[in-house]
Structure 1
Amino acid sequence: MRVGRVEASAVRYPEPNNDGKIRSLTLVRVETDDGLVGWGEAITGGQETSLAVAFVVERRLAPLVVGADPRDVAGVWDRLRDATYWDGHGGLVTFGISAIDMALWDIAGKAAGVPLYRLLGGKRRQRLPACASAIFATGDLDRIGREFRAFVAEGYRYVKGGWGHDLSIAFGRDQRRDLSVARAVRDAVGPRVAVIVDVAALAGWDSSHAIRMCRALDDAVDLFWLEDPLPEQDLDGYRRLHAAVGTRICTGEKGWHASHYRGLIESAAIDVIMVDPGRAEGVTGTWRIIEMAAAAGRAWNAHSWSSALNTAASLHLAAAASNTLLFELKPVASPMQHELVTNPIGHVDGWVSPPEGPGLGVEVDEAVVRRYRFGAEDLDR
């Protein structure tokens, strides 16, 4: 069995979980010479970036993959990283490697006739607590209350909110508003539901402010964890914060590779390491980071707020890991979750389980890929 073709598609779609704002990502389709197809994703975000990654995949990386045995996932991963030592290890190339690696794991599972989690050593747990992961309507406390009450009514026992549909008033930018938002969530979900809050990027917190806010938020709502209160590179600030509070601290979603995560883990200041297989060198890279975190006694969490492909890959990793606390889901049906695949992932009574089909276990509807695909000529439309 050999890789016969590698294709990439930039797709864009309105995200109902972000007030219909347009989001984009890059999907990668790998086909073998005997007809097996694997799918992967890069969580690229911007439309121009999604197009650029698609170009890099097809012109820079595909020639290194075509002709290889897709079941030799680690070997291909090493080859891609070695060949891109100058232009990779972060950015567009690493996005592309992440998507290709995910697609190869999908093929490897299909070739073996087993779910991805089996290739990772099997499930450590049959199911995981599902967490409704939402963007705050920071300017409308009544809406926050309605939305979070609905999550609990749907069976969620963990909820997370952060950032903001309007980034000018995003969570983290105003102390009084931040506390009001957090209290609105706690009032809506009651005392028994775990609450996580996520500080918007570029909020400008330093360690002193993070300590004050963490204490105030924890006193007000009893946080399950506080996410991204400081830039990831501010390890000294994270050490000061961790030493001053008893709240779990989570960060890591912006990381690209193991050396970055080694710094987070060895700082001993991060309780929950956030990793995204659509960014952090795929399933292969993410699994190595998860094992590193587990060896240090740290939990990990999947940053999988994207398509059903990333969700599926992350869920297999989460089920196979010993150090997973919960699993986040978009609480409102989304095109890249509920149209892209014919068997979307969801929770049952607040619990979520990995798909049991071979590979990633989700079936892509290629007509949907074509429907949402766009090119450079579409950028101004």
Structure 2
Amino acid sequence: MKIAKIEAYGIRCPEPNDNGNLRHAALVRVETDCGLVGWGEGIAMWPEAVRAVTVLIEHGFAPMLIGQDPTETEAIWNQMKRHVWWYGEGGIASFAISAIDIALWDIKGKALGVPLYKLFGGKVQDKLPSCASIHVKHATHEENAAEIYGYMEEGYQSVKVGFGKKGQARLGREARYDQDFARTVRERIGDDKGFIIDIGNNVKWDVAHAIRMTKAFEQYGIHWIEEPFHPSDIEAHRQLREATSTLIGTGEREWTVDGYHKLLKSGIVDVVGVDPARVEGITAFRQIINLTGAEKRKFNAHAWSTAITSAASIHLSISSPHCLLMEYKPLPNPMQDELVYEPIKHKDGYAVAPEAPGLGIEVNEDKVREYRFI
């Protein structure tokens, strides 16, 4: 079996879970000479970055990989890494490598007739608790808490709330306001549900404020606080770690295995955020899982994009003892509900892996073309 064709697609569509903002992604379709097709994704996010990724895939990698055996995933991953040595330590090249690598693993599973988790050693966890990952948008804490409670009634076992997002919620601007939000949510959902606060890129905390806020949030039982500072600010994370008892989650903006190795060795992260469509694919993700386990830490697949990334994340997560939960977008949306014929959903509050071969999803190519912008 040989790789016969590699095509890249830039798609965009409105995201109800992000207040209707347009979201962009780079998809790749890899077809073999025997007709097997694999799909992958690079979460390049911005339209110009998606354009750049499609150029790298079709004009950089495709001519090099056509004719090769798609099941030699490790060898091809190393070949792509060598090819981008001049410009590829993170950024656009990592998105392109991610997309192709995921597609090749999809083909590999289909060729062998097994779901990907079997290629990773089997299920270490049969299922994972589901987490509703949201950007609240309402003007009052009571409205936002009611929305979150609604997701708990749907079966979700935890919620992750992003601060600094668009909409009327205004989270991440005022200390007392944010503390009141956390209190209102905890009172509404009860003590048995998980609660994660994601500070994110649009909120700029200094160390003193982060310590005060994290200590305040601790009384509301948050599971972890995510991205409290820019990921490169190791010293700020270290000071927060020393001053509080709350778990710290970070890493979703890291790119490479080496980058994660350094992050883990710094000792400042408890829950490592990893995105297979950003960190150079499934091949790299599996290496990062091993590093995470060696440091006695946990990881969380940052799967907030299309069903392709979600499927890859579930297979990787249930095949490891180091994963805590699985994130979902709770509102119906094109990237999850239209892009594939059977959307990735939680079942009775838990994430379970698709059992069909490869990623276990069938991409609706008509929808890819409908949402394509390049």
Question: Is the shorter-chain TM-score for this pair beyond 0.5, marking a shared fold?
Answer: yes
How far apart, CA to CA, are the structure 2 residues paired with 1:187 and 1:55? Answer: 50
How far apart, CA to CA, are the structure 2 residues paired with 1:142 and 1:343? Answer: 34
The letter for the 1-side match of 2:233 is: D
Identify the residue that residue 178 of structure 1 maps to in structure 2: 178
Q: Is the CA contact (8 Å cut-off) linking 2:7 and 2:30 kept in structure 1?
A: yes
Q: Residues 3-42 of structure 1 correspond to what in structure 2 (within 5 A)?
A: 3-42=3-42
Give the Å deviation of 1:202: 4.1
Q: Is the CA contact (8 Å cut-off) linking 1:3 and 1:69 kept in structure 2?
A: yes
1:74 aligns with 2:74: yes
1:119 aligns with 2:119: yes
How far apart, CA to CA, are the structure 2 residues paired with 1:330 and 1:39? Answer: 21
Q: Residues 296-315 of structure 1 correspond to what in structure 2 (within 5 A)?
A: 296-315=295-314
1:90 aligns with 2:96: no
How far apart, CA to CA, are the structure 2 residues paired with 1:296 and 1:195? Answer: 25
Q: Is the CA contact (8 Å cut-off) linking 2:157 and 2:193 kept in structure 1?
A: yes
How far apart, CA to CA, are the structure 2 residues paired with 1:167 and 1:263? Answer: 36
The letter for the 2-side match of 1:187 is: E
1:369 aligns with 2:359: no
Q: Is the CA contact (8 Å cut-off) linking 1:171 and 1:199 kept in structure 2?
A: no
Residue segments in structure 2 that go unaligned for 5+ positions in a row:
none
Identify the residue that residue 378 of structure 1 maps to in structure 2: none
Matched position secondary structure for 1:10: strand
The letter for the 1-side match of 2:281 is: G
Matched position secondary structure for 1:67: coil
Q: Is the CA contact (8 Å cut-off) linking 2:134 and 2:161 kept in structure 1?
A: yes
Give the Å deviation of 1:210: 1.4
Identify the residue that residue 131 of structure 1 maps to in structure 2: 131
Identify the residue that residue 337 of structure 2 maps to in structure 1: 338
The letter for the 2-side match of 1:263 is: K
How far apart, CA to CA, are the structure 1 residues paired with 2:54 and 2:187? Answer: 44
Q: Residues 287-302 of structure 1 correspond to what in structure 2 (within 5 A)?
A: 287-302=286-301
How far apart, CA to CA, are the structure 2 residues paired with 1:83 and 1:145? Answer: 49
Give the Å deviation of 1:340: 0.5
How far apart, CA to CA, are the structure 1 residues paired with 2:143 and 2:54? Answer: 38
Q: Residues 220-259 of structure 1 correspond to what in structure 2 (within 5 A)?
A: 221-259=220-258
Matched position secondary structure for 1:373: coil
Give the Å deviation of 1:347: 1.0
The letter for the 2-side match of 1:352 is: A
Q: Is the CA contact (8 Å cut-off) linking 1:170 and 1:200 kept in structure 2?
A: no
Matched position secondary structure for 1:45: coil
Identify the residue that residue 348 of structure 1 maps to in structure 2: 347
Identity of counterpart residues, as a percentage? 44
Residues 189 and 168 of structure 1, relative CA distance in 2, 3 Å threshold: closer
Give the Å deviation of 1:31: 0.4
Identify the residue that residue 260 of structure 2 maps to in structure 1: 261
Matched position secondary structure for 2:196: strand
Q: Is the CA contact (8 Å cut-off) linking 2:137 and 2:168 kept in structure 1?
A: no
Matched position secondary structure for 1:191: coil
How far apart, CA to CA, are the structure 2 residues paired with 1:167 and 1:143? Answer: 13
How far apart, CA to CA, are the structure 2 residues paired with 1:244 and 1:263? Answer: 22
Residues 170 and 298 of structure 1, relative CA distance in 2, 3 Å threshold: farther
How far apart, CA to CA, are the structure 1 residues paired with 2:2 and 2:179? Answer: 55
How far apart, CA to CA, are the structure 1 residues paired with 2:170 and 2:266? Answer: 28
Identify the residue that residue 211 of structure 1 maps to in structure 2: 211
Matched position secondary structure for 2:43: strand
**More displaced 10-residue stretch of structure 1: 33-42 or 345-354:** 345-354
The two structures have a TM-score, normalised by structure 2, of 0.97
Identify the residue that residue 198 of structure 1 maps to in structure 2: 198
